Amino acid sequence: MNLFIILLQAAPAAGGASNYTGIFMMVLIFVVFYFFMIRPQSKRQKEIKKQREAMQVGDKVVTTGGIYGKVKEIKETTVIVEIAENVRIKVDKNSVFATAEDIQTQAK
């Protein structure tokens, strides 16, 4: 961060190029944000969406609330998850994630 301040203070001393230095710095900051924050997040969201679409009855899942269970029924926007013997809950499809052990068994 100190380097950024030094570059901004040194920019007016360069003369005519000082007009473009500020614009260049803003573009550089945007590029860094894109490659280190925005792009990885969008890739992760696509991966989660793909896993939800591939979800099948019998898959082990975890809800966003931390409840582990097994998928018993899949509807358009909801999933029925069995969390214990004869204990089933209805959960929104967007709040269910495949567990790590289930993903590993699918990859083999």
Q: pLDDT, tens digit, for every residue of 59-104? A: 999 998 999 999 999 998 999 999 999 999 999 998 998 876 655 5
Handedness of CA 6, 12, 13, 15 (dihedral sign): positive
Q: What values do phi and psi take at 81, rounded to 5?
A: -115, 130
Which of 71, 77, 75, 72 is CA-nearest to residue 99? 71
Angstrom distance (rounded) from CA 108 to CA 104: 7
**How many separate domains does the chain show?**
2
Is the pLDDT assigned to residue 28 strictly greater than 80? yes
Whether residue 73 sits in one domain with residue 29: no
Rounded to two decimals, what is the model's pTM?
0.58
Whether residue 40 sits in one domain with residue 15: yes
Whether residue 77 sits in one domain with residue 64: yes
